[in-house]
Structure formats: structure tokens, C-alpha cells
A = this chain, B = another copy of it.
């Protein structure tokens, strides 16, 4: 019999949506009073002499460990690299901690570790610290990895909610929902004719190129992991006190993902991505930014999907049928262990 009340932790406390926010606000922030925690950004940025340093951490508990397009190791590296990159930091060093179930196959562990090394190589980062713990059989589901990343922030970078103005545009770098569907499909034994693979990829190179060529035009970036595009957009609207208006027919979603999501009863706008980010951009720079993105394999499907307007923290989706839909933080049936 499951308890469903305020006294216990629910799966939805971990899905990156409304209950996760509630837990951070009402429990963690009560005791961890750092301004960094309060700001709820993807990475904490602090001064190290003249340079600014960024620090971020994430635990990965994805189930299954291997899925089309990736595995827990690739995810652990890319997720942490991407949190640094969207904060405007150049990722440099990672720490990785492994919690392993007794009896886990060594060849599987090696597969994960070699995948991490390949992703580090691709992103140009180095794992410099680590830890291994083993837990008795049946006290942990196979393998969890926690990665922590350190990066440098260039002096010219200035991103934040304070820069967001009415008229700014919302840009995403490509198709939404692929990671979520790839993992859910693998978990439930659907194969989608191998047409849906996770978008898991390190975003630091494409973001570095973008910021080098057009740093002033990018006002804020967010990666679109747990809670997906919709939750990230709602958080931006609330934190900036602006409204965001999105156009459903501008949303880059592959038809096969759209179909699979419908079949599974899921909304692609709330599905996790692991190689996607959104930007709030100056409208004067939007064309330049799109052109830069379109030249990178990780940005070929980049699109302008909406606009910031005066308001008070709401997100509206203009549907293809001509209606208007509110988008809120993810609530309701959680997708556990998607990353």
C-alpha cells in the first residue's frame, strides 16, 4: 500500500517539476541558505581570483542503463557538461562517483566507464576525481553515477533573468522529446523501428561557438532535461516576471516522436532532452544566432519558437487549431529515472 501524502518523498519530488521546486523551496533552502542555492540556476558561479568558476552536480539513476543513443555514462558526462555550458561556463574538470550494486557485471561497468571516457573526449573535459561504493545486492538498482563539474566563466559573459525584456525571442537548438521517448521506449520494450534515439550530446562546443560570435545577443540559456521545454520555459517566465507566448506549429518535434508520445500518453514539451537548450535572445541578433546554430550538427533544426511579452509569469501556447493553452510546471504522473 502506497502512502500518498506530504509526509513522504514521492517519485514526483524527483521529476524536476512542481514538487521538486516545492522540496527545494521548503526543505533544502530552509537549511542551505547560500545565495547560489536560492538562485536555482544550473551551476553556482563564484570568484576564484580574477576568474569566475562554475560548479554543478547531478546524480544519474536512469533506467535502463543502456538505451538507443546512449547510456548512463554518456548521460552523466553530457548532463554535467551541459549544465556548465548553459551557465556560460567552459567545462574543464569532472568528478565522478559510482554507487554499484553487489553482483553487477564488470563488463557492463567497463562499457559505462569507456562511454564516459569517449564523451569526456568529445567535450574536451577531464575526470580528475572519483569514488566507488558498493551496496549489497537488492539494496540499489544496478548503478548510480554522480558527476560534478567545474568550469571557467569568461569575463564578458552576462546572462540572467534581469536581461530578459518584452520582444525577446525564444530559440531552441533542435527537435524536442527524443531522450524521453528513447528511454521510455527501451524501458517498456517498444523499438519504434530504431527511429527514435536519445539526443544525448555535449553542448559545450556549439554554445562556445555561439557565445564567441554573438555573446551579447544571448540573454539566458537553459538545458531542457527533467521537466522538458515547458517546465524550463515556465520557470523562466516566473523568475523574470514576464509572459512567454509560444507557437505550437513552430515547435521542432519529429513526427515519429509526436506519434510515440501520443501512444504513451506523454506531451513532448514535457519530455526530457539531453542535447537541447533554449535561449532567450535579443530579436536584433536572432537571425545571426539561428545561422550560427544551423551550421552545427547539433543545431540544424534550431527554431524561433516564441516571444517574451509584458505579463506576470505565464506561458501560453498558441495551438495549431487556433486555441490558446496555459503551460505550467510539470505536475501529475511523473516519469521517474529518465536521467
Measuring CB to CB, which residues of chain A are less than 8 angstroms from any residue of chain B? 2-3, 6-15, 20, 23-24, 27-28, 30-34, 36-37, 43-44, 46, 48-51, 53, 55-61, 93, 95-107, 109-110, 113-114, 116-117, 120, 126-137, 139-141, 144, 146, 148, 150, 336-337
- Asked whether A37 and B127 contact (CB < 8 A) given A7-B106, A49-B49, the answer is yes
Pair A61/B95 contact, Cβ less than 8 Å: no
Pair A106/B9 contact, Cβ less than 8 Å: yes
CB contact between A128 and one of B36, B49, B99 (< 8 Å): that residue: B36
Distance (Å) between the CB of A231 and the closest chain B CB? 15
Measured in the bound complex, the distance between the Cα atoms of B13 and A11 in whole Å is 30
Task: Name the residue of chain B whose CB is nearest to the CB of A56.
Answer: B129
Measured in the bound complex, the distance between the Cα atoms of B139 and A141 in whole Å is 5
CB contact between A140 and one of B20, B100, B140 (< 8 Å): that residue: B140
Measured in the bound complex, the distance between the Cα atoms of B137 and A2 in whole Å is 9
Distance (Å) between the CB of A92 and the closest chain B CB? 8
Distance (Å) between the CB of A4 and the closest chain B CB? 10
- Asked whether A134 and B14 contact (CB < 8 A) given A34-B127, A146-B97, the answer is yes
Residues of chain B with a CB closer than 8 A to A30's CB: 110, 113
Interface centre among A9, A15, A58, A105 (most CB of B within 10 A): A9
Pair A99/B61 contact, Cβ less than 8 Å: yes
Measured in the bound complex, the distance between the Cα atoms of B137 and A55 in whole Å is 31
Residues of chain B with a CB closer than 8 A to A60's CB: 133
Residues of chain B with a CB closer than 8 A to A114's CB: 31
Task: Name the residue of chain B whose CB is nearest to the CB of A339.
Answer: B133
6 A-B pairs besides A8-B105, A27-B110, A57-B97 with CB distance below 8 A are: A2-B103, A2-B137, A11-B134, A14-B134, A33-B117, A61-B99
Measured in the bound complex, the distance between the Cα atoms of B336 and A148 in whole Å is 24
- Asked whether A148 and B51 contact (CB < 8 A) given A43-B129, A109-B9, the answer is no
- Asked whether A10 and B134 contact (CB < 8 A) given A27-B109, A28-B113, A146-B57, the answer is yes
Measured in the bound complex, the distance between the Cα atoms of B141 and A102 in whole Å is 13
Pair A128/B9 contact, Cβ less than 8 Å: no
Distance (Å) between the CB of A26 and the closest chain B CB? 9
Measured in the bound complex, the distance between the Cα atoms of B95 and A318 in whole Å is 39
Pair B109/A336 contact, Cβ less than 8 Å: no
* Interchain residue pairs with CB less than 8 A apart (7): A7-B107, A8-B106, A34-B128, A44-B95, A99-B144, A139-B140, A140-B141
Pair B135/A61 contact, Cβ less than 8 Å: yes
Distance (Å) between the CB of A126 and the closest chain B CB? 5
Pair A48/B48 contact, Cβ less than 8 Å: yes
Measured in the bound complex, the distance between the Cα atoms of B310 and A33 in whole Å is 51
Pair B49/A133 contact, Cβ less than 8 Å: no
Measured in the bound complex, the distance between the Cα atoms of B48 and A44 in whole Å is 16
Distance (Å) between the CB of A333 and the closest chain B CB? 13
Task: Name the residue of chain B whose CB is nearest to the CB of A103.
Answer: B8
Pair A14/B132 contact, Cβ less than 8 Å: yes
Pair A132/B20 contact, Cβ less than 8 Å: yes
Measured in the bound complex, the distance between the Cα atoms of B140 and A136 in whole Å is 10
Measured in the bound complex, the distance between the Cα atoms of B53 and A40 in whole Å is 24
Measured in the bound complex, the distance between the Cα atoms of B99 and A33 in whole Å is 21
Distance (Å) between the CB of A338 and the closest chain B CB? 10
